[in-house]
Amino acid sequence: MGRLDQRLIAITGAAQGIGLAIARDFASEGADLLLLDIDRTALESAARDIRAANPERRIDAEVCDIAVPEQVAGVFAEKGAFDGLVNNAGVNVFHDPLETSQAEWRRAFAINLEGAWACCRAVLPAMIERRHGVILNIASTHSFTIIPGTFPYPVVKHALMGLTKSLGLEYASRGIRVNAIAPGYVATQKVLDWWDAAPDPAAAKVETMALHPQGRIASPEEIARAAVFMISDECPFMTATCLTIDGGLSVRQHG
């Protein structure tokens, strides 16, 4: 018996990084999945691998730009009632505030916040009707801390936490749980690309590791294991809250 047997769960940004790790773990725990991503090639590859490892599971994959609400509504309408949703898709938008263009401001909100809301809006009616469902938003330590030079990303992630708490309270009495996970630095391709773009990639990596009390950053698989717990029935009294997974980074006052 898996911890997610007989669940149908949608995961956005499922083709790589944290989303892919979550998809693999969810399938291994018995869930049927709808994988969503904007990258067709990576998505098809991810779906093939997960199906091969879990031939008894239903693994659907749909290319979807979550910044387009009509696409989101169309995809979810065809798939039935969902037991869970993981809003993982996101994009880093880092600028000096006054150098942030309107287009970049809109891109940050359209993907990181409005896309998450569009997915929530698509699954909630059936969840409410069945009085059962779990939504998990992949937030960030940017949701409650600020790193200069990363505007407007923390603004959006603070808003995503507001969405989590608001929906969690609105629908708690109707059998719905809405929570968030706030990872710190995770060894995803985005972080590797960020190091590679630095003048001295090796030094950038050392500096990042040194920020963390454990001297390392998280793996995507560590975030995925927490996601299994948050989506499962093992935390039925947790809603409108956030689980921080950052190795103590956000608690540390000085290096």
Dihedral sign computed on CA atoms, order 80, 86, 91, 97:
positive
Which two structure tokens, joined as six digits, stand for 164? 């989590």
Dihedral sign computed on CA atoms, order 165, 167, 169, 173:
negative
Selection from 224, 185, 231, 170 nearest residue 5 by Cα = 231
Which two structure tokens, joined as six digits, stand for 184? 């710190």
Residue spans of beta strands (DSSP E) within the chain: 8-12, 32-37, 59-63, 84-87, 94-95, 133-138, 151-152, 176-183, 242-245
Contact 23, 43 (CB under 8 A): no
* Catalytic-role residue among 76, 109, 153, 171: 153
Per-residue CA distances from 75 to 24, 121, 122, 168 (Å): 21, 12, 9, 24
DSSP type of residue 36? E
Residue 153 annotated as catalytic:
yes
H or E stretch including 17? helix 17-28
H or E stretch including 24? helix 17-28
What is the Cα–Cα distance from 208 to 195, expressed in whole angstroms? 9
Active site residues: 153
